[in-house]
A and B are shown apart, each in its own frame.
Chain A
Amino acid sequence: MDKRHVHETNPKRTFVTVIIFVVVIVVGLLTIRSPKLKYELSPSQTVELVTSEEHVMYPYELEDIFSGAIDTVILIDIRNKFEFGRGHIDGAENISAITLLSQDNIKRLKQSMDNGMTIVIYGNNQLEANGPWMVFRQLGFDNVKVLLGGYNFYKEWKDMLGDTYYEDSYLLGAPRYDYAEVASSTAIVQGEDDPESKKPVTVKRKKKSSVAEGGC
């Protein structure tokens, strides 16, 4: 008498089960969706990119655009329609940040990149345009720049953009205070205790940076 188990004499069920397993895997592999947009830069390349401090546009360069000396620049306002309507840089086009990656826009931007155009995006301040700019760069758009200072700075200086050449208040990233002093000042706390010593530093900066800094 054969005392073996049913699977030993009849491996058909095992076979059927394994076939189902294989089918699931094959179907899964075949249905992997390839993403519509792909990163062209690896994360480490992105780090290199942002540390290189390139690919920015200075406000005084806007002069050349307005005068027509440079005509290969497309200005894109990434704020929403409402803010755009309230005021924007002359000649700018409004594509709000949410719709930047829509298929039409991507296609159009790609086309203008192939035509040798430079795309400059701006928001109210540099921070607003920073994220979209990084996404574009990571998607492989080498021609996308960000306008330093953003719209707020432009609004303040629009009649004398040329003068901004000597300005630096829109340059972010540098410390505005002497940290060593802050770190060591345990006794002197408030400005009013010793206004003389701090006034020259803080007040001057404040006037300059009041606009570009906005509501921090």
Chain B
Amino acid sequence: MGPLIPQGLIAGGWDFVIALLLGIAFGFILEASGFSSSRNIAGVFYGYNFVVLRVFFTAVLVCMVGLMYFHYMGWIDYNLIYVLPTFPQPMILGAVIMGFGFISAGFCPGTSYTAMAIGKIDGFVFTAGLFLGIFIFSEAFPLFEDFYYKGNMGNITIGEFLGISNQLVTFIFVIVALVAFYVTWLIEKRVRKTITPFKFE
């Protein structure tokens, strides 16, 4: 049956409509999970709030398990799903930069919009900075173009890389995620004992 567009079940022109609907849903979930508060987001780095990790890992778990079964039931074809190409070194550097912005500003790009949507000034400032950064990056792109495309591994999945089935990857990931949930819960409990919550006046 799926994916809908590559299988030709709906025309390619609908992708923007679908993107809009998914975007609204995504923004709603971000806001509902409390991601418009930089306190929640930056909490991952200080160890008092791991809601970011929990929400995203849960999303990944549901998605992985769902895809696995939907593929089995013939609702979606695994092999037609687009997989982003992997560039190890540039991705690691990008992740470090992103993490740095994350911890210093308290937003990731998506959540800054949800913060903007509820009228937070820091959200506006962050978004302005975001576009400034995009502009500078685009203008200076030729300088680091070589590094940007370095070490292309192609559209590869973890299962293909390790030579194991995607189902096994899913199972391993479920275990890893559940262990992560438990460990972060323990960390949270300990850290929260030692800090005094900030009180709004």
Contact residue among B33, B34, B62, B75 (Cβ-Cβ distance under 8 Å from A28) = B75
Q: Cβ of A21: which chain B residues have Cβ within 8 Å of it?
A: 62, 66
B157 at the interface (CB under 8 A from A): no
A25-B66, A25-B69, A28-B69 known; A5 and B33 CB under 8 Å?
yes
- Which residues of the partner chain B approach A1 to less than 8 Å between Cβ atoms? 197, 199
- Interface size for B (C-beta < 8 A) is 16
Q: Is B40 an interface residue (CB 8 A)?
A: yes
Interface residues on A, range: 10 to 19
Complex Cα spacing A21 to B59, Å: 12
Contacts of B115 in A (CB 8 A): none
- C-alpha spacing A18/B58, complex, angstroms: 10
Q: What is the chain A residue whose CB lies nearest that of B37?
A: A5
Q: Nearest chain A CB to B111's CB is how many angstroms away?
A: 14
Q: Is the interface of A mostly helix, strand, loop or mixed?
A: helix
A14 CA to B73 CA, complexed, in Å: 25
Residues of A within 8 A of B75 (CB): 28
**Pairwise interchain contact A7-B69, C-beta atoms closer than 8 A:** no
Bound complex: CA A8 to CA B33 (Å): 10
Contact bitstring B18-51, A, C-beta under 8 A = 1, else 0: 0000000000000001100000100000000001
Residue pair A32, B197 in contact (C-beta under 8 Å): no
B: residues with CB less than 8 A from A are 33-34, 40, 51, 58, 62, 65-66, 69-70, 72-75, 197, 199
* Chain A residues engaging chain B, CB cutoff 8 angstroms: 1, 3, 5, 7-8, 14, 18, 21, 25, 28-29, 32
